Amino acid sequence: MGLELYLDLLSQPCRAVYIFAKKNGIPFKLCTTEVFKGQLQSKEFFQINMLRKVPALKDGDFILTESSAILIYLSSKYQTANHWYPSDLQARARVHEYLGWHADCIRGTFGVPLWTKVERNKTAMDQALQQLEEKFLGDQAFFTGQQMSLADLMAFEELMQPVAVGYDLFEGRPKLAAWRERVEAFLGSDLFQETHGPILNILEQVVNKKFPKPSSEVYPYMLLRISRIP
């Protein structure tokens, strides 16, 4: 059997995996798994990931979860361009350094703006953005140097989530705004629109009452994530 990716494009980590696979021409079957419809709670998905989270990868009998692990696996198996996951030990270590920090300081801070008001954790977001600029971007074009890596892709998708609900966190941050433009240019407008279409019109969907109402099975997960906002 071929590669299967279980994704919901409303999810930041899922978009990162989808973009990476599409940008690198990796053949896969998209298994859309919608969080708000409670599909993570199904018996079928439990066989894929007992943690009931997306993204998930199934490659024959091999199943892998967690977006960073999936991206590293895909980059290694399909021998993608070296800039994504560099072979140089120190450059690769920089990618891992960012991914470790990302899980706590970016994913943990920016992961819930679809569900609650951004103002609640604005202070933590501003602090994380400052650290992102000063520690990881600095005077470079991208986080690990002059070419885009897995670190940039993961960060970009997370930072697009507040933008989708009307919070322009790039305003007043010219270095970060220029980085965003470079990432978008690298991805290309077609892939960007294909991937971000569902997230960029969320406000319109909410106003027109077309955004799916979360199923009862989803509420405990949402409340847990909200409770973790700084």
Q: Which of 190, 100, 175 is nearest to 142 (CA)?
A: 175
In this structure, what token pair is assigned to residue 161? Answer: 């989530």
How much is the pLDDT for 119?
59
- Indicate yes or no: pTM above 0.75: yes
Please give the Cα distance from 226 to 230 (Å, whole number).
9
Domain of 14, in residue numbers: 3-77
Whole-number average pLDDT of the chain: 86
Q: Let me know if residue 193 belongs to a domain.
A: yes
Claim to verify: residue 123 and residue 27 sit in the same structural domain:
no
Is the same domain home to 162 and 67?
Answer: no
What confidence category does residue 181 fall into, taking pLDDT thresholds of 50, 70 and 90?
very high
Q: Which of 101, 71, 88 is nearest to 7 (CA)?
A: 71
82 located within any domain: no
Virtual CA dihedral for 29, 34, 37, 42, nearest 10 degrees? 60
**pLDDT per position as a tens digit, 79-113:** 999 999 999 999 999 999 999 999 888 887 776 54
1, 13, 2, 12: which is closest to 65 by C-alpha?
Answer: 13
Q: Has residue 37 been placed in a domain?
A: yes
| Pairing of β 56-59 and β 29-32 | unpaired
The total number of structural domains in the chain stands at 2
Q: Is the pLDDT of residue 155 over 90?
A: yes
- 2, with CB counted inside 10 A (0-12, 13-18, 19+), is exposed
103 and 70 within one domain: no
Do 30 and 15 contact (CB within 8 A), yes or no?
A: no
Domain CATH code at residue 96: 1.20.1050.10
Q: Which of 27, 55, 77 is the last residue of a domain?
A: 77
